[in-house]
Each structure stands twice: as structure tokens, then as C-alpha cells.
Chains A and B, each alone.
Chain A
Amino acid sequence: AQRVTQPEKLLSVFKGAPVELKCNYSYSGSPELFWYVQYSRQRLQLLLRHISRESIKGFTADLNKGETSFHLKKPFAQEEDSAMYYCALSGTGFQKLVFGTGTRLLVSP
């Protein structure tokens, strides 16, 4: 079965520090990975997806099939990055997104 694991419920860093939000997945097929973000009082929205290989708001994520990981990274955290981050998985053969339990990122001044 497909599964997404985000081991950290809360990640607290100071402004300017590097950030890495961990995401591991379990899926035997060809995965498609996403990061979604939910800012306070806003709806969930797509941050980035691995197929685009893009950097959004300074965040990047690399799909590592050997380690089955899709960690989200940013070299210098900003206060406005404080939010709930969800890693999600999709793939051939199943028509849905499987979400992890989420990591709350708190960036302090």
C-alpha cells in the first residue's frame, strides 16, 4: 500500500537558519511527489512537485528513489515560511493523493 511518512510534527528554527522537512514514502511503482502548504487561516495549496524540478519561495525538493525520500529544503528560513507542510504521493494505478501527517514549521525572529 502507498504510504507517506513525515516524522516531525513540529520543526522550530530561527530566521535565517536552514530548513529541511523530511518526507519518506512507500510505493513500489513510479511515484509522483508533491509538497502542499497551509498558511494560517488559508486553504491548502500546492508548493511544488517533483516533476517540475522548480524552486518556489526558495524551497526545493529532490526525489531520491534509492532512499524513497522527497525532503523539502530551504537554505535560509523566513518568518513568513511558518505554516503546516504536507508531503503527498500519487502514482500510476491509483487515482488519489496520499498525504503524510504534516509538519508544522515555526520560524522565530
Chain B
Amino acid sequence: EAQVTQNPRYLITVTGKKLTVTCSQNMNHEYMSWYRQDPGLGLRQIYYSMNVEVTDKGDVPEGYKVSRKEKRNFPLILESPSPNQTSLYFCASSRDGRNTEAFFGQGTRLTVV
């Protein structure tokens, strides 16, 4: 089944403790991205990647890192999480970044205390 898989689905952590949210897609898509969803703000793009080893900042990149060593994986790294990063995170992939359908993961609900 074609899908985007994120892990974990839920995570509670403490301020400053490094964490990684994994994202994997099995559709051989070149384009992958991370969004955060906050009430009243919709989805905002954090980082995106157009291909292996090619990443770029989205609209809200501060406090996040990403890597794209393989086509299928696009992990999101929070080196020193803070409470304002408490949010619902979505990973997405698409054939390209423009007019093709984006496929989303199930979401990761992160709480930083």
C-alpha cells in the first residue's frame, strides 16, 4: 500500500532533550516536506527536500533540522525542543512539489513540557 509513515504518533518530552521524528514513504517520491499544524494557523511548512541531499527551509524552520540521506526517509530533528514547539506535525511526499498530489503521514502529536 502506498503510504507515508511517521513515528512516533504521540510524544511527550522535556525541554532541551533532543528528539527525532521519522518519516518514510514507499512511493519513490522525490519531494518530501514537514509541516506543523497549530489552531488558527493552519499548516505551515518547516522544511522541504526536492531530492536526496537537497533540503531547504520552509516558512518556520527555526529550531528544527532535517536530513535526506535516502530518497524514502526524511527525519525531523529537534536538537533542543522548547514548549513553543508543542504542535501536531505532518510529513508529506509528492512526485514533485508543485501540481502533483501530496500524500500525508498520520501526524505526530508532540508535547514539550
Contacts and interface: CB of A to CB of B under 8 A. Distances in A.
B48 interface: yes
Given A45-B104, A86-B43, A101-B40, A96 B97 contact: yes
Contacts of A36: 102
Interface residues of B, number: 24
Interface string B18-50: 000000000000010101000011111100101
Q: Which 7 A-B pairs have the closest CB atoms?
A: A95-B97, A101-B42, A99-B43, A44-B104, A32-B99, A46-B101, A43-B104
19 contacts: A6-B42, A9-B40, A36-B102, A45-B104, A46-B101, A86-B42, A91-B98, A94-B97, A95-B31, A95-B96, A96-B33, A96-B45, A96-B48, A96-B97, A97-B92, A97-B97, A99-B44, A101-B40, A101-B41
